[in-house]
Structure 1
Amino acid sequence: MITSRPAERQGIVMPPTISAISPSQGPTTGSTTVTLTGTGMTGSTAVRFGSTNATSFTVNSATQITAVSPPHAAGATAVTVVNPTGTSNSVTFTYVAVATPVVTGLTPSNGPTSGGTSVTLAGTGFTGATTVTFAGVPATSFTVNSASQITAVTPAGSAGAAVVTVTTPGGTSAPDAFFFYAAPPVLSSAEPARGPTAGGVTVTLTGSNLLNAGTVRFDNTNAASFTVVSATQITAIAPPGTGSSPITVITPGGASNPVAFSYIPSPALTALVPYSGPTSAGTVVTLTGTNLATTSAVVFGAVTVPFTVVSNTQVTAIAPAGPAGPVTVTVTTAGGTAPGLTYTRNVPPGI
C-alpha cells in the first residue's frame, strides 16, 4: 500500500504565503509602511506592488515582512512576495488619491518673535501631515487633530509675515497663509509718572512696537481703559492703587519692560497762618497739612497764586488781592485736591 505524504515531508519547499496585510491602503504617493504576515518569508528577494518593487522591505521573520509602498496610480493593486521557492499568493493594497493640503486660517495669527505660540491651523487635507513650517522653519511641535485641524507651536522667527505651510503625502500647501511675528514692545516713559490712589489719571505711554496692545498693567492691575494711539504711543487711565506701581504693556510680541509710576496719597490741609489778611495782595500764608510734597497748584477762591513747597507738610503761598470776605484755599497735588480751608480778607480800618 502506498501512502501519500505532504510536499514538505517529501523534501519539496513551498513558495511563501501571505495571509494578511496591514494597513491595506495608502496614498498614491507611496511611502506607506505595510506589514505582511504569512509563512515561508525567509530568504525573500522582493516585494511587489503590482509589477513595481517596494521602495524597500525587511524580512523580520519567517512569518513577517515589512515593506514600503512605491508610488502608484489610484486603485486596487496585488501585493506579492518573491522568494527563491516561488512567488506567493497576492493580497490587495488599495492606493488612494490624496489631495494637496490647504491652509485656510490660523488662530491666533500673530505672536512674539521668540516663538512658543500655540497656533490652530484650519484647512483641508491634513491627514498624515509630516511637516508644518513657519517661513521655512519647522514648527517646534505639531499635532494633527483631524483632516481639517492642526495645532502647532511656533518656532522663533523674525518680525513680520511668515508663510505657513503643511506637508502631507499629498504635497505641500500653497503659500497663502501667514503668521505675523511681532517684535516685543518697549516703553521709554510714562507721563505723568504719578497719580492719585483713587486712580482716574490719564497716563501717556511712549515707546515702540505698541500696536495691537491687548493689556496695559499698573503693577498687577489692568488699566481702567486704554487707547492705542500709534506704534509709539498709548494713553491709559490708571486704576486705583497704592505705592509704586510699574506700568507694562502686553502685545502679541510679549510683555514690555516696566516704567515707573507711583500712587500719591490725597493731600489734606489742617491750618492757614495767618488765616486772614488785607484785601490787597502780598500776604505770605503758610499752609500746613499732609502729603503736600507734590503740590502743583494753590488756589484762593478762583485765583491761582505763586507758592513754594517747604516740605511734605508745609507750603507757603502769596495771597492775591480781592474783595473783603471769606475765600476757600485749596491745594492740588499728584494725589488730588485737598478739601479747602477758609481765608478771610478784611477791610482796613478807616482813619
Structure 2
Amino acid sequence: MAPVVTSVSPAQGAPAGGTSVTITGTGFSGATAVRFGPNLATNVVIVSSTQITARTPAGSGTVQVTVTGPTGTSTQSVFFLYATVAAPVLTALSPSSGPTGGGNTVTLTGTNLAGATQVLFGATPATILTNTPTQITATAPAGTGTTNVTVTTPGGTSNALPYTYTTTPAPTITTLNPTSGPTSGGNTVTITGTNLTGATSVKFGLNSATILTNSATQITVSAPAGPPSSVSVTVTTAGGTSNPLSYFYIAAPTVIDVSPHLGPDTGNNTVTVFGGNLTLTTAVNFGAVPATAFTVVSDTQLTVTAPAGTGTVVVTVTTPGGTSTSGSGNPFYTYLAAPVLTSLNPTHGQDTGGDAIVLTGSHLTFTDAVTFGGTPASFSAISDTQVVATSPGGAPGTVNVVAHTPAGNSNALPFVYDPT
C-alpha cells in the first residue's frame, strides 16, 4: 500500500523555502522522497512510520505534499502554501532574567509569532511550550551573563531582546511545623528558612505538596499522603534544592474497645481505652467532650478520666495521625444516672435470710450488686424500676439495704431482721 499523508505542519512557508515542517500519516517506513509539488524537500528525516520531518524547497502558490515509498506515492489532498510571511517581532520578555541553571518559563510577546520553529537564548535553543501569533512561552535553557533572545518562524528571525542570567542562592530550610501528620495528608505544614521565594516544588519524599503561600522566609503547604514512615522534606527554587528535614507520617489511631462501657453521668471515673497507634495521643473525647485527663500506658492502651455526660457516646482518640472513627471496634460508652431506692417490700424478714424482697426505685436496670448491711444478696433486675433480692442472713435488728450500678451506690433503705 502506498504512503498516506494526513497533514503537514506548518502548512505555510516562505517562497524561498527552508521552512521546517512535520508531515504526519502512515506507511512512511522506507520512504525515498518527499515532494512539495514537483520539487524535492531537503533534510528529510523519517522519524517513524507515521512521521517525517523535512525542510521545504523553494516554490510558489499552493502545492500538494507527497511522500514516495517502495509501494508508491501518496495521493491525498494535503497542501502547502508558499506565501510571503511577515517576519516576527519581539516586544517584551517576562521575566527578562532568570537562573543560570535555566528551567524557568519565559513569556515572549510580540507579533507574527505563529509557527515558531525555534527560540534561541544566544545560540542555545529553548523548549517551546505554547505558541500563538502574539505570544510564546518557552523553558529557558541554562546560560550565563546577558544574552539575546530571538524567535524564528517561516517569515524569518525576529529582532533580539536581552535576557540576563542571574545567580540565585539555593534555599535552606530550618524548621517544619508540625513535624508529623496523618498518612492521608491534607494537613497544613509551615516551612521556615531562607531564600524560599519562587518555590517551584516542595517534596515530601517523592510526593509533591500543594503550595499554599510563599515568601522569602516561609512556605505553607498542604502535605501529600504518604505511608507510615519518615520522609525528607525539600524545597526547590530557581536557585536549587534545599537541605532535607525529616517529617513523620503517623497512622491514624484506632479504638477497639473501652472498659467499662458504663459509668456515672457525673464522670470522674477511670476508663481504659484499648486500640492501636495510641502512643502520640493528644486528646481523648467522650462524644464532643474532652476527657479530664489521660495517661498513655502503651501504644495499645490508655487510662482515661471520663468527663460528665449523658446518653451513649463514641470515645475517640486524636493523635498527629488523625482521629479514630466509630467504625474501628466498639468505642461506645453509656452514661448512667445514679440508682435511687424508694421502697422495700417487705421491710422485715427472718434473721436466717431467704426472704424475697422487692426493691422499687429508678435507674436500676444495670444493678450489679445489692447488699443488706454490707452483706451481698442474690438478686435479679426486673426492670429499670424494680429489683428482686433474696435476703442474706443477719443478726436481729435493722440494717441498710443499698443497690449498686456502674453509676455508683443508691441511697439506703432500712430493713429489719426479725429473730426466728
User: TM-score interval w.r.t. the shorter chain?
Assistant: 0.7 to 0.9
Judge conservation of contact 1:272–1:285 (CA < 8 Å) in 2.
no
Aligned to 1:161: 230
Match of 2:255 among 187, 201, 220: 187
Aligned with 2:353: secondary structure? coil
1:315 partner letter:
V
Give 1:41-56 correspondences, 5 Å limit.
49=121, 52-56=123-127
Q: Does 1:292 align with 2:292?
A: no
Return closer, same or farther for 1:346/1:147 CA change in 2, 3 Å cut-off: same
Judge conservation of contact 1:60–1:66 (CA < 8 Å) in 2.
no
2:304 partner letter:
A
> Which string of whole-angstrom CA distances, capped at 9 and with x for unpartnered residues, describes residues 274-316 of structure 1?
32456x4525351332222322222334x23232124121131
Give 1:16-55 correspondences, 5 Å limit.
21-35=93-107, 49=121, 52-55=123-126
Aligned to 1:137: 207
2:389 partner letter:
T
1:116 partner letter:
G
Judge conservation of contact 1:119–1:151 (CA < 8 Å) in 2.
yes
Match of 1:71 among 123, 138, 142: 142
Aligned to 1:217: 285
What is the CA–CA distance in structure 1 between the aligned matches of 2:343 and 2:135, rounded to whole Å? 101
> Which string of whole-angstrom CA distances, capped at 9 and with x for unpartnered residues, describes residues 204-248 of structure 1?
111111222233222333323322222101122222223322322
Cα shift at 1:30: 1.7
Return closer, same or farther for 1:298/1:38 CA change in 2, 3 Å cut-off: closer
2:298 partner letter:
S
Aligned with 1:156: secondary structure? coil
Q: Which runs of 5+ in 2 are unaligned?
A: 1-86
What is the CA–CA distance in structure 2 between the aligned matches of 1:42 and 1:282, rounded to whole Å? 108
Aligned to 1:316: 389
2:308 partner letter:
P
What is the CA–CA distance in structure 1 between the aligned matches of 2:157 and 2:250, rounded to whole Å? 64
What is the CA–CA distance in structure 2 between the aligned matches of 1:282 and 1:42, rounded to whole Å? 108
What is the CA–CA distance in structure 2 between the aligned matches of 1:291 and 1:85, rounded to whole Å? 95
> Which string of whole-angstrom CA distances, capped at 9 and with x for unpartnered residues, describes residues 251-295 of structure 1?
2223324322222232111222332456x4525351332222322
Match of 1:205 among 251, 273, 277: 273
Match of 1:111 among 181, 185, 207: 181
Return closer, same or farther for 1:282/1:248 CA change in 2, 3 Å cut-off: same
1:207 partner letter:
G
Aligned to 2:301: 233
Aligned with 2:312: secondary structure? coil
1:205 partner letter:
V
Return closer, same or farther for 1:67/1:188 CA change in 2, 3 Å cut-off: closer
Aligned to 1:305: 376
What is the CA–CA distance in structure 2 between the aligned matches of 1:17 and 1:276, rounded to whole Å? 114
What is the CA–CA distance in structure 1 between the aligned matches of 2:419 and 2:116, rounded to whole Å? 125
Return closer, same or farther for 1:56/1:197 CA change in 2, 3 Å cut-off: closer
Match of 2:197 among 127, 148, 152: 127
What is the CA–CA distance in structure 1 between the aligned matches of 2:281 and 2:222, rounded to whole Å? 22
Aligned with 2:313: secondary structure? coil
Return closer, same or farther for 1:23/1:268 CA change in 2, 3 Å cut-off: same
Return closer, same or farther for 1:148/1:54 CA change in 2, 3 Å cut-off: farther
Q: Does 1:344 align with 2:344?
A: no
Aligned to 1:8: none
The alignment yields a C-alpha RMSD, in angstroms, of 3.4
1:127 partner letter:
T
Q: Does 1:263 align with 2:335?
A: yes
Judge conservation of contact 2:372–2:391 (CA < 8 Å) in 1.
no
Q: Does 1:327 align with 2:396?
A: no
1:272 partner letter:
L
What is the CA–CA distance in structure 1 between the aligned matches of 2:156 and 2:272, rounded to whole Å? 87
Return closer, same or farther for 1:87/1:272 CA change in 2, 3 Å cut-off: closer
Judge conservation of contact 1:52–1:70 (CA < 8 Å) in 2.
no
What is the CA–CA distance in structure 2 between the aligned matches of 1:40 and 1:193, rounded to whole Å? 78
What is the CA–CA distance in structure 1 between the aligned matches of 2:288 and 2:131, rounded to whole Å? 64
Q: Which runs of 5+ in 1 are unaligned?
A: 1-14
1:190 partner letter:
V
When structure 1 is superposed on structure 2, of 335-344 and 287-296 the one drifting more is 287-296
Return closer, same or farther for 1:208/1:166 CA change in 2, 3 Å cut-off: same
Aligned with 2:414: secondary structure? strand
When structure 1 is superposed on structure 2, of 52-61 and 258-267 the one drifting more is 52-61
Which TM-score applies when normalising by structure 2?
Answer: 0.66
Cα shift at 1:341: 0.8
> Which string of whole-angstrom CA distances, capped at 9 and with x for unpartnered residues, describes residues 160-217 of structure 1?
212222222222223x312221222222211111112222221111111122223322
Judge conservation of contact 1:54–1:68 (CA < 8 Å) in 2.
no
1:340 partner letter:
A
Return closer, same or farther for 1:36/1:321 CA change in 2, 3 Å cut-off: closer
2:282 partner letter:
G
